[in-house]
Chain A
Amino acid sequence: MTTTIGISEPTVTRPRYRAASFADALHSEWTKARTVPSTRWTLIAAAVLGIGLGALVSALAARHYAQESLSTRALWDPTSISGAGGELAQLAIGVLGIMIITSEYSTGAIRTSLTAVPRRGRFLAAKALVIAGLTFAVSEIIAFAAFFIGQALISGHAPTASLGQPDVLRALVGGGLYGALIGLLGLGLGALLRHASAAIAVLVALVFILPAIAAALPASIEHNVEKFWPTQAGQQVTVVVRGADSLSPWAGIGYLCLFAAIVLAASVVLLNRRDA
């Protein structure tokens, strides 16, 4: 196309360039995630909750171990005690997933982002990969740090767990997987609802409130809810001593994975359909 109009013999000569790729979008999203202070603060909050609360509970439980009854001692699970802060840490991780997209809506930056990357599926996929990587790494660090610090505090007062014991390593690695999925679930909820407050309310309901309400239901129903509630099922991979009729660790995390994938797929469909 060579239309020349105007007085000054205009010609724009431009060097050949390559098409923008998914890797470019990923690079950009990584820069965006690391250059806002809220990312750092949310991850620090997650680490303080996960490691600090785990250490506190480990120290207290270890001091009281000697006074506990034999039946209580039989249920002694040092891995879950040192990981007691995990759930709250995961909440902070979920909030990070939410904020990374809702902050774009609240500031209007989403319009700039979607002008730069108009393929919206690519945009959200790049964000998802950044969130998954970031939350997996941080959740893994929290899981292992809380474990080693907790076991050190329990040591000398009560039996401790070690990586060599059955299922312990799986539970710790599972903590990272569970964190990444909660981060992705947060991203999906944030992209669907576009407001941080609404998305956080839904996430808290999913992870904490609805399972707690289910505990008040008749036992048969409660067991099914506990077994098939996505976040409850997903948590099975993070524990050593599991409930009698819960899904297996890998089936459980697969189930949560499917749930997060459905939420993310729905958010891509809506993102493509809605005006930005």
Chain B
Amino acid sequence: MPRKSAQLSSGGQKIEARALTKAYGATLAVDDLSFDVNPGLVTGFIGPNGAGKTTTMRLILGLDSPTRGQVTVGGQRYRDLPAPMREVGALIDAKAVHPSRSAYHHLLSLAQSNGIPSRRAADVLGLVGLESAAGRRVGGFSLGMSQRLGIAAALLGDPPVLMFDEPVNGLDPEGIVWIRQLMRSLAAEGRTVFVSSHLMNEMAVTADHLIVIGQGKLLRDEGVTAFVESNTRHWVLVRSAQLDKLSAELSKAGAQVRPGTDDSIEVAGLDSRAIGELAAANGLTLHELATQHASLENAFMDLTHDSVDYRASGVAA
């Protein structure tokens, strides 16, 4: 059997999806997705449950075949990679293991399948803090331990590309902090880290870049900072007994005013300091003056909710 030497990739590897589409019957689970996942960054892949995140990851790994379009890792289809675990480490389903095999033997068999030295199996068990459970049957593992085992499997081949599907599921707070730091350090080493989540706040603290999908369609592909800026709304809640006069003055000063709940208005376009001084200059008494922020989670829900409405009207048209 000829032993081909695999092409050595210096630097990071990109995941590139082009017009990626997967239909299950009449349902489009993934709908014309095009995006790049770049090295050196943690890229959050975010969308509500059922948005097509897992299906997209399965398409990247060649577990499912796309209906149309294609996706490559480092320019190659996953199925054509000479030693896939050396190129891509993936955690898709932490429970996708034979329950009566020990953690060590599970990792050993995976290492052998890609010609990875056996000692890596013990190494990665140490890396994820499971060395004391090496000989235990995987079936008895908690979800958190299974997640750690799945991450150990992903790290076996020391790959430049890592994919994690909802990795914080089932982890305790300590485990969540651990995986955040792990993803950050993997990216800092120049690796491509692609991580899915349905929790916006989790991604806001972990990711550098966001790919947002809803109903299988791409909604946003931008940096976290840009996403936060464009999706965070600020306004000032103002209470006063003289709302009519105040509203008129605020409008004159260029602010947008809309009625709030009982005796309040919501003012955008002026900050609380400007509003306070405007009120004082006009001799108006304020009972409350408070800056409000819409949460990122709300912004994300608004965004993905819009995609549902868009699709519904699109179908009717």
Name A's B-contacting residues (CB within 8 A). 1-6, 8, 10-14, 16-25, 27-29, 31-32, 35-38, 103-104, 107-119, 275-276
Contacts and interface: CB of A to CB of B under 8 A. Distances in A.
Contacts of B188: 6, 8, 10
Contacts of A5: 12, 38-41
Contacts of B158: 14
Given A18-B4, A18-B115, A115 B79 contact: no
Nearest to A107: B98
A20 B114 contact: yes
B148 interface: no
Interface string B121-144: 000000000000000000000000
B85 to A, nearest CB: 6
B110 interface: yes
Contact of B4 (A10, A19, A32, A103): A19
7 contacts: A6-B188, A6-B190, A20-B83, A28-B112, A31-B105, A113-B113, A115-B92
Nearest to A24: B115
Interface string B1-30: 101111011111110000000000000000
Q: Which 6 A-B pairs have the closest CB atoms?
A: A10-B190, A6-B40, A19-B82, A28-B113, A108-B96, A35-B105
B58 to A, nearest CB: 8
Contacts of B12: 3-5, 10, 12
Given A5-B40, A12-B189, A107 B97 contact: yes
Given A31-B112, A116-B85, 5 more contacts: A4-B40, A5-B41, A6-B40, A20-B82, A114-B62
A31 B189 CA distance: 33
Contact residues of B: prevailing secondary structure: loop
Contacts of B63: 111, 114-115, 275-276
Nearest to B97: A109
B69 interface: no
A21 B101 contact: no
B238 interface: no
Interface residues of B, number: 60
A14 B108 CA distance: 21
Contacts of B110: 28, 112, 116
Contacts of A107: 96-99
Interface in B27-78: 38-41, 58, 61-65, 74-75, 78
B79 A118 contact: yes
Given A1-B11, A19-B5, A36 B109 contact: no
Contact of A1 (B3, B74, B81, B83): B74
B113 A108 contact: no
Interface string B91-108: 011011111111001001
B191 interface: yes
A1 B86 contact: no
Given A3-B11, A18-B5, A111 B78 contact: no
A35 B79 CA distance: 27
A104 B115 contact: no
Contact of A27 (B9, B82, B112): B112
A5 B187 CA distance: 10
Contacts of A119: 79
B5 A1 contact: no
Contacts of A109: 96-98
Interface string B204-238: 00001000000000000000000000000000000
A10 B96 contact: no
Contacts of A28: 109-110, 112-113
A69 to B, nearest CB: 53
B90 interface: yes
